Amino acid sequence: MNVKLMLTAALGAALLAAPACAKKAAEKTDAAKVDAAIAAEAAKAGEAAPAPAKPKVDPAKLAVDNAAKSEKFLADNASREGVKATPSGLQYRVLSEGPADGAAPKAEDVVVVHYVGTLTDGTEFDSSVRRGAAAKFPLNQVIPGWTEGVQLMSEGDKFRFFIPPELAYGEKGAPGAIGPNEALIFDVELIRVSGPVRNLAAAQKFLEANGKKAGVKSTKSGLQYEVLAEGAAGGRSPTDANKVSVHYEGRLLDGSVFDSSYDRGEPIEFPLGGVIAGWTEGVQLMSEGDKFRFYIPPALAYGEQGTPGGPIGPNEALIFDVELLKVVD
């Protein structure tokens, strides 16, 4: 923000104040000389000059000042073109829209988003974009402004939210990043929505169609698999009592990779009876050197719970490419 100086008034004030300030200016100059001398002596002694004390902030006053600042910002912002408001006081603007058939989340759904969070002065305090990794979380476990706002979106949409303090972090703020009673601005891109009912329907539809494809076999449990490559004859097949060494890659139905021993550059070794049911059953169908692709129903994977906090949502079907390197014992 540029500060405009009223030159005539400022000059007049300076002239009127000059006689009274002359003595004070001299005193300040002398004090500066003393500070410089102390610093010079400290430097000679190999000591750092003491840092000037930071002014103390009155938390109560800061909360009051921020509340007034937030109220003014939101009042001004509400009249800007394209800005809409909800009864709660949440403001938002549609930056871009996704496809017409994009899913809209409910509060209990898990969402995958990219976002950038800023204060009203433009200071960025958090960004999934800067980290290079989208965030995934249950929508009912974040600040109220997010829970309400993201439900207005559909997959592929990008919105800008202007969130009042009472729908953000309130009087407490978030230490180190967000002060008390700060209004916040978030640019949010809704990438994907997942929820137990939605995911189960998608899993059933996928598995029904996938089971009809050439080369795909199914077991009585509902596990599906196809043989990608066979190892040498005579390779051992494990039981659920064995420990195995494998390379693998795990994907969601949309192709997102959520785990990969290949990416880590080393295989993993584990007891076959200590993993999800789809793995325990499926790997027993293999012999050393084989590479299979497994299509695992939610009931044989992580079920209705998924993996809390991500990356696997509730009732997600999973796809694993698994290479059985060795039956260890």
For the stretch 293-304, pLDDT in tens is 999 999 999 999
pLDDT in tens, 55-72: 777 889 999 999 999 999
At 150 the pLDDT is 98
pTM surpassing 0.75?
Answer: no
pLDDT in tens, 176-200: 899 999 999 999 999 999 888 889 9
User: Tokens 């890659």 belong to which residue?
Assistant: 249
Residue 328 in this model has a pLDDT that exceeds 60: yes
Among 212, 231, 210, 233, CA closest to 283? 231
Q: Report DSSP state, residue 95.
A: E
At 108 the pLDDT is 87
Domains and CATH numbers, the chain: 59-193 (3.10.50.40), 197-327 (3.10.50.40)
Q: Is 225 strand, coil or helix? A: strand
User: Tokens 């997010």 belong to which residue?
Assistant: 146
pLDDT in tens, 261-278: 999 999 999 999 999 999
At 28 the pLDDT is 45
Q: Which residues are catalytic?
A: 115, 125-126, 143, 169, 186
Q: Which long-range contacts (CB under 8 A, 24 or more apart) does 170-178 make?
A: 171/63, 177/125, 177/126, 178/119, 178/125
Helix or strand run (H / E) with residue 45: none
At 12 the pLDDT is 31
pLDDT in tens, 120-157: 999 999 999 999 999 988 899 999 999 999 999 999 99
How far is residue 219's CA from residue 313's CA, in Å, rounded to a whole number? 24
**Mean of the pLDDT values across residues 241-260?**
96
Give percent of the chain with pLDDT exceeding 70: 83
CA angle 78, 112, 320 (to 5 degrees): 170
How far is residue 139's CA from residue 147's CA, in Å, rounded to a whole number? 5
Residue 42 in this model has a pLDDT that exceeds 90: no
Instruction: Tell how far CA 288 is from the center of its chain.
Output: 39
At 53 the pLDDT is 67
Say which residues have a Cβ less than 8 Å from residue 171's Cβ, sequence separation at least 6.
63, 165, 180, 181
